[in-house]
Structure 1
Amino acid sequence: MSPAADSNSGMGEEPLIEDFGQRIGRAMGWPPMAGRLAGVLMLSPAPMTLSELQTTLGASKGSASEMTRLLVANGTVERVKVPGVRQAGYVWRDDAWSGCLQHQLDQNRQLLELARTAQERGLGMAEVQQARLRDMYAYYEFMVGHLRRLLDEYEQLQAGR
């Protein structure tokens, strides 16, 4: 077991990790295991392999693998090469909160593109349907603009620390 895995034993971190599982999982729409995995990696001082995450969380290989992919996709965790270890390691990104916000921005950009396309395709529809499509477009245009500014502001704040 690596020092990262050892650091999670006997340190009173289990209640905090369970809290992450429940609260982050629920707030982000993730399964509790993803929240627990996020908590483990956030508190780990070193990269952890999938095997170590499995053992620490008491998770199956498939579950640990699926949850790491989810966290990587959500911008909070990254896969890294650990010197002297054959398996890839996973770490909590130093810029995880920027990564999380970037993921939200990317999602909203995709939905803005859908709204633009839907609005074009809905030109022959009844006015009530067109109005809904315009509202969808206006909402995502608003969200993309504000999320972009929010991300820029947060990154400037972080750079000043």
Structure 2
Amino acid sequence: MPQAPHDSEAADNSQLIEDFGLRIGRAMGWPPMAGRLVGILMLSPDPMTLSELQQALGASKGSASEMTRLLMTNGTVDRVKLPGVRQAVYEWRADAWVGCLQHQLDQTKQLLELAEAAQERGRYLPPAQQTRLLDMRTYYAFMVEQLQRLLEDYRSQLRHDG
């Protein structure tokens, strides 16, 4: 599926993929392989099968599968079925950064729900612990509000730029 790049282009892509592996992997708390997969799929002109990803990563089928699931969960990669192609393929989402921000918002909402429940259940705790739980709820409520605003602003920017 993907076209073979020229030698210098392949070297540049290889270095870029390694940069993604180190930097995105580290920043997101992911294994470097997930960061490399980001680079591979972002730079690929075509969707790739799991076998192609496995080969590009130099990884086992299980590891490649685990990394694609991680990226799908984080909103950047889609698994699609193409007409006439037996195997499913993976592709970088056209709205990957929206998906990434939406994933962060969803995670933060879950933590806000936890904070609210903890505050309710901890209403009989001593004042110091109640304050900690209130601070937690206040933090996550603030973060949800800000992430929602960021997501709206980002989507709006995309509509104006495109």
| TM-score category (smaller protein) | over 0.9
Uncovered stretches (5+) of structure 2, i.e. residues with no partner = none
Query: Does the Cα contact within 8 Å between 1:47 and 1:82 map onto a contact in 2?
Result: no
Q: CA deviation at 1:9?
A: 7.2
Q: CA deviation at 1:112?
A: 0.2
Cα distance in 1 for residues equivalent to 2:18 and 2:154? 28
Q: Evaluate the alpha carbon distance shift between residue 19 and residue 130 of structure 1 in structure 2; reply closer, same or farther with a 3 A threshold.
A: same
Q: Evaluate the alpha carbon distance shift between residue 122 and residue 8 of structure 1 in structure 2; reply closer, same or farther with a 3 A threshold.
A: farther
1:110-140, Cα deviation, whole Å (9 max, x unpaired): 0000000000000000111100000000000
More divergent stretch after superposition (77-86 vs 139-148):
77-86
TM-score of the superposed pair, with normalisation by structure 2? 0.95
Q: Please name the residue that 2:22 is paired with.
A: 22
Q: CA deviation at 1:82?
A: 2.0
Cα distance in 2 for residues equivalent to 1:86 and 1:20? 30
Q: CA deviation at 1:8?
A: 5.7
TM-score of the superposed pair, with normalisation by structure 1? 0.95
Cα distance in 2 for residues equivalent to 1:61 and 1:131? 48
Total equivalences in the alignment: 158
Could you tell me which amino acid in structure 2 is paired with residue 35 of structure 1? G
Q: Please name the residue that 1:118 is paired with.
A: 118
SS state at 1:79 partner: strand
Q: Please name the residue that 2:138 is paired with.
A: 138
Q: CA deviation at 1:83?
A: 2.5
More divergent stretch after superposition (76-85 vs 126-135):
76-85
Could you tell me which amino acid in structure 1 is paired with residue 151 of structure 2? L
SS state at 2:123 partner: coil
Query: Does the Cα contact within 8 Å between 1:8 and 1:44 map onto a contact in 2?
Result: no
1:79-119, Cα deviation, whole Å (9 max, x unpaired): 11122221110000010001000000000000000000000
Superposed CA RMSD in Å reads: 1.1
Moved over 2 A (4+): 6-12
Matches within 5 A, 1:1-161: 2=1, 4=2, 6-7=3-4, 10=7, 11-12=10-11, 13-161=13-161
Q: CA deviation at 1:57?
A: 1.1
Cα distance in 2 for residues equivalent to 1:149 and 1:54? 38
Uncovered stretches (5+) of structure 1, i.e. residues with no partner = none
